[in-house]
A = this chain, B = another copy of it.
Amino acid sequence: MNDISFGKYISVLYRYTQIIINHQLKEYGLGSGQYLFLIAIAKSPGINQKELTAQMMNDKATTAKALSKLESLGYIERQKDEADRRNYKIFLSDKGEAFIPTLRAILQTLTSTLSTEMTASEIDQSKELLDKMLENAIKEVNRLK
């Protein structure tokens, strides 16, 4: 199990974490495609979709679709920005606000699960190394565009 390429590690790890998170969010009507948006909106109430897209590092279409779902489920509200009517300002609803502690607990559990039998310094190291790889990937994607 040692000649596995990064590509495969990342792929399998991603798909497995999706399965775990989908499982835990199911009872709230949510899926793996929305939870990170809730966290980001909780941190920056009134943020618009462009900024969200940048923070989440995805396509603006993905953001639009995730927010549509969150809105229809009643977790967020979109207000037209009267200063620039192209924008929406995104806020958590009361329901969304109330869900955040639960969500944070779920994510904390996921992090704990993934880092079972790892020391604190290994966990820090992991984040640093993932961060480096991510920066390299970002540079490469930007180079392609």
- Chain A at the B interface: SS class: helix
Q: Is A47 an interface residue (CB 8 A)?
A: no
Q: Most chain-B CB neighbours within 10 Å: which of A6, A15, A56?
A: A6
Which chain A residues (87-145) contact chain B, with CB distance < 8 Å?
107, 110-111, 113-118, 122, 125-127, 129-134, 136-141, 144
Q: Is A86 an interface residue (CB 8 A)?
A: no
Q: Is A11 an interface residue (CB 8 A)?
A: yes
Q: Give the number of times this chain occurs in the complex, counting copies.
A: 2
Q: Provide the A47-72 mask, 1 if CB < 8 A to any CB of B, else 0.
A: 00000000011100000000000000
Q: Is A4 an interface residue (CB 8 A)?
A: yes
Q: Is A1 an interface residue (CB 8 A)?
A: yes
Residue of B nearest to A136 (CB): B116
In the A-B complex, the 9 residue pairs with the smallest Cβ-Cβ separation, listed nearest first, are A14-B14, A16-B137, A9-B130, A126-B129, A116-B136, A114-B133, A12-B57, A113-B140, A10-B14
| Inter-subunit contact B2/A21 (CB<8 Å) | no
Q: Is A80 an interface residue (CB 8 A)?
A: no
Partner of A13, one of B1, B2, B125, B137: B137
